[in-house]
Amino acid sequence: MAELIASLATEGRLPLEIGTVVLEDAQPEAITWVAYLDRKKSAVTRALGGFPGPGAVVDVKAGRALSVGAGQAMILGAPVACDGAAVVDQSDAWIVVALDGADVRDVLARLTPLDLRDEALPEGRTARTLIGHMTASVTRVSAYRYELMVFRSMTATLLHEVERAMTHVAARRRLGAE
């Protein structure tokens, strides 16, 4: 009988450094979707140690909670269970990668219609958007670091599109420097 071995969807493909930007794996231990049930928001917030409002990212007991819709969050970190909420393990359904570097906004601008200016997406905020044709969450972690979360089935497409954008931005940077 074959023995199955768990591996990351990005294994052997990352990290990738082109120009001033690095793409690396940022997969948490677990990804859990949580939606509080009717009139249970306060109890769920207490149990988790926080719950994000629209577009917010908050630290919770298990890790970080990203807003993904009204009354819904993705918890990135340790697995969670919570009375008063619908809770679904999404660890095998999503991948998380980090894009980091001086030209990160130029790379992302080639991939998403999201407004990436500081006023529109400051550090510690998240947004549901498209990356190419893929549904995604883009979270600004710091000034030059963003985390991208897409369906695991889109891993190869995401890596291809990001690598292509990184290559184009690096080439423009080289041409401008000469």
Q: Average pLDDT for residues 116-121, to the nearest whole number?
A: 96
pLDDT tens-digit profile of 2-33? 887 777 788 889 999 999 999 999 999 999 99
Which pLDDT does position 178 carry in this prediction? 54
Torsion of CA 148, 116, 63, 78, to 10 degrees: -10
Higher pLDDT, 53 or 176: 53
Q: How far is CA 69 from CA 55, 56, 145, 177, in A?
A: 8, 10, 23, 43
pTM of the model: 0.93
Which pLDDT does position 77 carry in this prediction? 97
pLDDT tens-digit profile of 131-176? 999 999 999 999 999 999 999 999 999 999 999 999 999 999 888 7
Burial of 13 (0-12, 13-18, 19+ CB in 10 A): middle
Torsion of CA 87, 65, 77, 150, to 10 degrees: 80
pLDDT tens-digit profile of 58-103? 999 999 999 999 999 999 999 999 999 999 999 999 999 999 999 9
